[in-house]
């Protein structure tokens, strides 16, 4: 069963699989890039839209895409229920394209689906679509020899090497980088993840 099929199934019900509370990281991004008229956001792998809708509620012009039809349907539904607009559509992180530039670009829980051969192209795109002085937030799951694979880990997901993510942003200003190990209960079985996170700013040319 493909990862697209899995997520379509998880998102098909009326309940929100990941809930509707936004990620806490968004407030950090807002502080680094406060909303003023015309400020724009791209959510890569928006799921059911909880983060994209929150950013629209803060006044940003939000574009969001996800691999699943059900995720986009529920993103639009949530936006309508909150009285905001999100430009949401189906696309794949491995070959997405846009001619727009954004002040904030973020992706959480999605970059592990990048194929190895697409990594360089993906980060080249990020640089192209981020405005000068714009902010990028990315997190990735990291392989550690002392941690077992999560019970719900999919064959299409790719673990990253520790610190690998940071090497793609050598010419950016690091606002925050960290690596943390945390406990999770996805799949109904307690386990641990290691995650690398970067928040960085594109330095004005």
- Predicted local confidence at residue 205, as pLDDT: 65
Q: What would the DSSP string read from start to end of 7-31? A: HHHHHSSSS-TT-SPPPTHHHHHHH
Tell me the percentage of the chain whose pLDDT exceeds 70: 99
Instruction: Tell me if 174 is assigned to some domain.
Output: yes
Residue linked to tokens 């902010």: 135
Q: Is the pLDDT of residue 190 over 90?
A: no
Instruction: Tell me if 85 is assigned to some domain.
Output: yes
* pLDDT interval class at 172 (50, 70, 90): very high
* pLDDT interval class at 118 (50, 70, 90): very high
Angle at 2 between CA 152 and CA 194, to 5 degrees: 35
Q: Into how many domains does the chain fold?
A: 1
Instruction: Tell me if 18 is assigned to some domain.
Output: no
Among positive and negative, which fits the CA dihedral 177, 132, 60, 10?
A: negative
Look up the CATH number of the domain holding residue 84: 3.40.50.150
Q: Is the pLDDT of residue 1 over 70?
A: no
Whole-prediction pTM value? 0.94
Contact between residue 64 and residue 86 where contact means Cβ atoms under 8 Å apart: yes
Instruction: Tell me if 92 is assigned to some domain.
Output: yes
Cα of first residue to Cα of last residue in the chain, in angstroms, is 45
Number of Cβ atoms within 10 Å of the Cβ of 106? 25
pLDDT tens-digit series, residues 46-77? 999 999 999 999 999 999 999 999 999 999 99
Instruction: Tell me if 76 is assigned to some domain.
Output: yes
- Predicted local confidence at residue 80, as pLDDT: 99
- Strand, coil or helix: what is 91? coil
Instruction: Tell me if 178 is assigned to some domain.
Output: yes
Q: Which domain holds residue 165?
A: 3-12+24-201
Residue 1, exposed/middle/buried by CB under 10 A (0-12, 13-18, 19+)? exposed
Closest to 63 in 3D by CA, of 104, 31, 32: 104
pLDDT tens-digit series, residues 127-151? 999 999 999 999 999 999 999 887 7
- Predicted local confidence at residue 197, as pLDDT: 98
Tell me the percentage of the chain whose pLDDT exceeds 90: 87
């Amino acid at each position: 069963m493909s990862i697209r099929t899995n997520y379509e199934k998880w998102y098909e019900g009326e309940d929100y699989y990941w809930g509707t509370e936004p990620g806490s990281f968004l407030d950090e991004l807002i502080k680094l890039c406060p909303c003023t008229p015309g400020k724009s956001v791209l959510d890569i792998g928006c799921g059911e839209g909880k983060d994209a809708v929150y950013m629209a509620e803060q006044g940003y012009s939000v574009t969001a895409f996800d691999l699943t039809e059900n995720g986009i349907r529920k993103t639009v539904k949530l936006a309508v229920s909150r009285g905001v607009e999100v430009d949401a559509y189906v696309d794949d992180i491995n070959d997405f394209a846009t001619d727009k530039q954004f002040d904030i670009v973020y992706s959480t829980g999605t970059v592990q689906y990048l194929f190895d051969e697409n990594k360089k192209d993906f980060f080249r795109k990020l640089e192209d679509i981020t405005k000068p002085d714009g902010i990028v937030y990315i997190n990735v799951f990291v392989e550690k020899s002392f941690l077992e694979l999560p019970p719900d880990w999919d064959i299409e997901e790719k673990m990253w090497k520790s610190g690998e993510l940071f090497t793609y942003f050598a010419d950016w200003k690091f606002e925050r980088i960290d690596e943390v190990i945390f406990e999770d209960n996805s799949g109904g079985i307690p386990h641990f993840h290691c995650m690398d996170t970067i928040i960085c700013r594109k330095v004005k040319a």
